[in-house]
């Protein structure tokens, strides 16, 4: 096996689920970092050209704690081997976890491994990192209504345990006091960096962290009311080996990396290659926002519905959908839609007859087969609606990494990836159910062509600059 390519990452992130990883990656790009999202721990020989941050998407949120620790440490090792200056453990802004974990135990395992390698790392990279004996917990994402005050997490104007999250099927959050929640997950000290200290600025926040460190406090929950607090926290924690939190902190950190000279300003961090090929939308989401997007699309363009009851009989509906798409998919035409999205009564009827799991599997398998077949036949721009549906499509296509482009709507960027048997990159947008405006299925493609035209323009400018520089060098 070849040795790792020589590239130094600024930020290495470990995300406990796929859409959370995309959310963080999207924020990093928006704040000026060229970002790659990888699905699971990648191969050793993955090339990292023009990449400042890598976000490793794991499925470690609700799995057994030992698996979560093992996968997170494997990701850490990969990222540190690429020189990542800071590690970011990303979890949900609603702190999704149970008394068994996985946030506390994973953070402990990452810190312990970082501490064990710190001396060696300091010698090798000459960084100024001070802290691998303490980390911060910053779940807040104020723009999405997730704030923390006196260590208590709010969703909008409700405490976490009164926000609906107390009924979550996997991680019911029945306590909003994060100091208390985390103390049940770790044998180490948990403390609070409160708003009153943040209001006095980064120096005061650093002082408080040092005091807590002296007192043996390993994990520090951070209050956060607004973006200004995130900026203060980012300034106070940029030298920690490990930070943890939601994607809000990811938006604030890059400015600090630039101040330290780790990160050069980049004009278009979300630049993608020009995209080629026909445009397809596959929708397996039945969320309210998606149903509105399907309706809006069908009022203007053609689409074909897939019925799980018919899919349970035979694969004929898949063949019909492929024939429908082939007749319409040419690079010049607008996007074609194939959807299983249906109103609640229809979903309930399918589930009553087939069972919810089987209905879901039939739809996911059909959409994944359609994606694989049509991408092999020339679809080059693919939008998928639905979190589970996206997972099924991504694994059918064998996608390993995604270059993150610019945002279409909050939380949903265009991405680009390489798939086997396709020369040009595939442009891929993966939308979880409730995201996106009503015209998302059409506007996404307009945003993509604007982005890639801009890229083409920028490449030309770059080429011109390069030529000029070469001319000057030659002179």
Per CB under 6 A, does 389 bind ligand ADP?
A: yes
CB of 289 to ligand ADP, least distance (A): 8
Q: What is the 3-state secondary structure (H, E, C) of 334-397?
A: CCEEEECCCCHHHHHHHHHHHCHHHHHHHHHHHHHHHHHHHHHCCEEEEEEECHHHHHHHHHHH
Q: Which of 249, 433, 445, 452 binds ligand ADP (CB under 6 A)?
A: 433
* Residue 14 β-bridge partners: 56, 89
Q: Encoding tokens for residue 247?
A: 């994607």
Q: Which is nearer to ligand ADP, 182 or 370 (CB)?
A: 370
Per CB under 6 A, does 32 bind ligand ADP?
A: no
CB of 335 to ligand ADP, least distance (A): 19
Q: What is the DSSP letter of 94?
A: T
* Environment class of 47 (CB within 10 Å of its CB; exposed 0-12, middle 13-18, buried 19+): exposed
Q: Could you tell me the end-to-end alpha-carbon distance of the chain, in angstroms, rounded to an integer?
A: 43
Q: Contact 76/154 with Cβ under 8 angstroms?
A: no
Per CB under 6 A, does 269 bind ligand ADP?
A: no
* Residue 414 phi, psi dihedral angles, 5° rounding: -75, 150
* Residue 134 β-bridge partners: none
C-alpha span between 217 and 212 (Å, rounded): 5
Per CB under 6 A, does 350 bind ligand ADP?
A: yes
Q: Which is nearer to ligand ADP, 96 or 229 (CB)?
A: 96
CB of 430 to ligand ADP, least distance (A): 10
Q: Which is nearer to ligand ADP, 147 or 341 (CB)?
A: 341
Taking CB under 6 A as the binding criterion, the range among 131-139, 157-165, 344-352, 422-430 that sits at the site for ligand ADP is 344-352
Per CB under 6 A, does 308 bind ligand ADP?
A: yes
Q: Which is nearer to ligand ADP, 17 or 229 (CB)?
A: 17
Per CB under 6 A, does 430 bind ligand ADP?
A: no
Neighbouring residues of 41: CB distance < 8 A, sequence distance ≥ 6 = 56, 71, 74, 75, 78
Q: Encoding tokens for residue 421?
A: 């048997």
Q: Which is nearer to ligand ADP, 97 or 432 (CB)?
A: 432
Q: Encoding tokens for residue 233?
A: 């926290």
Taking CB under 6 A as the binding criterion, the range among 2-10, 243-251, 263-271, 334-342 that sits at the site for ligand ADP is 334-342
Residue 466 in 3-state DSSP? helix
Q: Which is nearer to ligand ADP, 61 or 80 (CB)?
A: 61
CB of 293 to ligand ADP, least distance (A): 11
Q: Which is nearer to ligand ADP, 16 or 175 (CB)?
A: 16
Q: Which of 320, 388, 409, 439 binds ligand ADP (CB under 6 A)?
A: 388
Q: Which is nearer to ligand ADP, 330 or 434 (CB)?
A: 434
Per CB under 6 A, does 347 bind ligand ADP?
A: yes
* Environment class of 265 (CB within 10 Å of its CB; exposed 0-12, middle 13-18, buried 19+): exposed
Site string for ligand ADP, 355-384 (x = CB under 6 A): ----xx--xx--------------------
Q: Encoding tokens for residue 166?
A: 């107390």
* Residue 22 β-bridge partners: none
C-alpha span between 336 and 280 (Å, rounded): 5
CB of 163 to ligand ADP, least distance (A): 18
Q: Contact 83/122 with Cβ under 8 angstroms?
A: no
Q: Which of 285, 417, 427, 451 binds ligand ADP (CB under 6 A)?
A: 285
Q: At what angle do helices 387-397 and 356-376 cross, to 10 degrees?
A: 40
Q: What is the DSSP letter of 26?
A: H
In 3D space, the residue among 76, 78, 81 whose CA is nearest the CA of residue 114 turns out to be 76
* CB closest to ligand ADP, residue no: 433
Residue 254 in 3-state DSSP? helix
Q: Which is nearer to ligand ADP, 48 or 371 (CB)?
A: 371
Q: Which of 380, 387, 405, 436 binds ligand ADP (CB under 6 A)?
A: 387
Taking CB under 6 A as the binding criterion, the range among 41-49, 111-119, 259-267, 337-345 that sits at the site for ligand ADP is 337-345
Question: Considering only residues 34-73, where is the footprint of ligand ADP by CB under 6 A?
Answer: none
Q: Which is nearer to ligand ADP, 57 or 136 (CB)?
A: 57
| Residues that bind ligand ADP in the complex, under the rule CB under 6 A | 284-287, 290, 308, 340-342, 346-347, 350-351, 359-360, 363-364, 386-389, 432-433
């Amino acid at each position: 096996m070849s040795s790792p390519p020589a590239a130094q990452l600024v930020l290495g992130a470990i995300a406990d689920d796929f859409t959370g990883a995309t959310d963080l990656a999207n924020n990093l790009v928006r704040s000026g970092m060229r970002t790659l999202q990888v699905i699971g721990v990648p191969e050793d020989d993955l090339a990292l050209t023009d990449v400042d941050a890598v976000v490793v998407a794991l499925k470690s949120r609700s799995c057994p704690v030992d698996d979560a620790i093992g996968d997170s440490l494997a990701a850490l090792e990969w990222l540190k081997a690429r020189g990542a200056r800071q590690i970011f453990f990303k979890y949900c802004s609603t702190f999704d976890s149970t008394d068994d974990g996985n946030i506390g135990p994973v953070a402990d395992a990452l810190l312990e491994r970082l501490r064990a390698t710190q001396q060696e790392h300091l010698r090798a990279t000459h960084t100024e990192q001070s802290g691998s004996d303490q980390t911060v917990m910053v779940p807040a994402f104020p723009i999405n209504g997730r704030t923390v005050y006196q260590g208590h997490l709010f969703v909008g104007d409700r405490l976490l345990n009164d926000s609906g999250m107390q009924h979550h099927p996997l991680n019911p959050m029945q306590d909003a006091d994060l100091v208390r929640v985390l103390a049940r997950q770790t044998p180490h000290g948990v403390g609070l960096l409160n708003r009153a200290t943040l209001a006095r600025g980064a120096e005061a926040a650093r002082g408080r962290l040092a005091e807590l460190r002296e007192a043996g406090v390993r994990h520090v929950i951070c209050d956060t009311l607004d973006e200004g607090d995130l900026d203060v926290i980012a300034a106070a924690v940029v030298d920690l080996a490990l930070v943890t939190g939601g994607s809000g902190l990811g938006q604030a950190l890059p400015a600090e990396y630039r101040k330290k000279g780790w990160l050069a300003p980049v004009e278009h961090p979300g630049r993608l290659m020009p995209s080629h090929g026909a445009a397809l939308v596959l929708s397996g989401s039945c969320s309210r926002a998606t149903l509105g997007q399907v309706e809006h699309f069908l009022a203007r363009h053609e689409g074909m519905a897939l019925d799980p009851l018919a899919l349970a009989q035979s694969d004929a509906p898949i063949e019909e959908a492929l024939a429908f798409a082939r007749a319409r998919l040419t690079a010049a035409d607008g996007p074609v839609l194939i959807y299983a999205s249906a109103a609640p009564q229809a979903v309930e009827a399918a589930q009553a007859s087939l069972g919810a799991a089987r209905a879901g599997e039939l739809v996911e398998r059909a959409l994944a087969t359609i994606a694989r077949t049509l991408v092999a036949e020339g679809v080059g721009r693919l939008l998928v609606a639905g979190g589970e549906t996206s997972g099924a499509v991504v694994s059918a296509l064998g996608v390993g990494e995604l270059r993150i482009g610019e945002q279409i709507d909050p939380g949903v960027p265009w991405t680009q990836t390489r798939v086997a048997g396709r020369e040009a990159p595939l442009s891929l947008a993966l939308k979880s159910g409730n995201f996106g405006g009503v015209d998302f299925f059409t506007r996404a493609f307009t945003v993509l062509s604007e982005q890639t035209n801009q890229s083409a323009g920028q490449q030309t400018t770059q080429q011109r600059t390069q030529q000029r520089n070469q001319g000057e060098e030659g002179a």
